[in-house]
Amino acid sequence: MSEPQLPPFFRPLRERLPDVDIVVLPPPAPRAEPVPLPAPADEVARRTAAWVRELWDGFGAPEPSTTTVRWTPGGSRGAVALEVLLVAAPVDTTAALAVLVAAADTLRVPGALAWHVLTPPTGLARVQASAETAGVRYAADLVHVPARDRLFLRLTVGDHEVGPETAASLAATPDAREGVHGE
């Protein structure tokens, strides 16, 4: 069986190290094109923040002490993502672990979004989840920081195509909702 042809960059390496296996993976799939916002930006921010709060409550998390909603630059020029951050403090380790277990279990239940859920075994106690539907990506991080007795959920939804000027304007706004202040 003949060896497949390697790209020119790898040929000298093959000559010097013939016993090393070289695996060349295909290039990653191109990123999905951003989708337009389904409603005005303030309405999307309000509805998304309410949905994230429902998730938070569904996990059995305590009342958040801080809620921040902000637009961030998206993956391409003219696109934005919405980030919702809920923080509760103080939250002891026992209560936080119960919330993390409930969150992992809840997100694994089949529903409107097919979440891919990770619970890394090392580092801070956390649940990481991601989903994609209709070209929109969802990324959630629920983390307990025991040194600060904090539990937080950061959920990012994007990319939404809004045009370069609107993207710059939205990303410059400190909070996407009136009356909500970040830390």
Is 165 domain-assigned?
Answer: yes
> Has residue 183 been placed in a domain?
no
* Tally of helices (H runs) and strands (E runs) in the chain: 4, 7
Q: What is the three-class DSSP state of 108?
A: helix
Domain harbouring 50, CATH code = 3.30.2030
**Is 132 a domain residue?**
yes
Number of domains in the chain: 1
Q: Would 80 be classed as within a structural domain? A: yes
Highest mean pLDDT among 90-94, 109-113, 163-167: 90-94
Would you say residue 62 lies in a domain? yes
In a domain, 160, yes or no: yes
| DSSP reduced 3-state for 31 | coil
Q: pLDDT tens for residues 12-61?
A: 888 888 888 888 777 766 666 778 888 999 999 999 999 999 999 999 99
SS3 148: helix
Q: How far apart are CA 51 and CA 57, in angstroms?
A: 10
CB 136 within 8 A of CB 160: yes
Residue 44: strand, helix, or coil: helix
Joined tokens for residue 161: 């195509």
In a domain, 97, yes or no: yes
How much helix, strand and coil, in percent to the nearest 5, is found in the chain? 30, 30, 40
Range of the domain at 87: 35-172
The answer to whether the predicted template modeling score (pTM) of the entire model surpasses 0.75 is yes
* Residue 10 resides in a domain: no
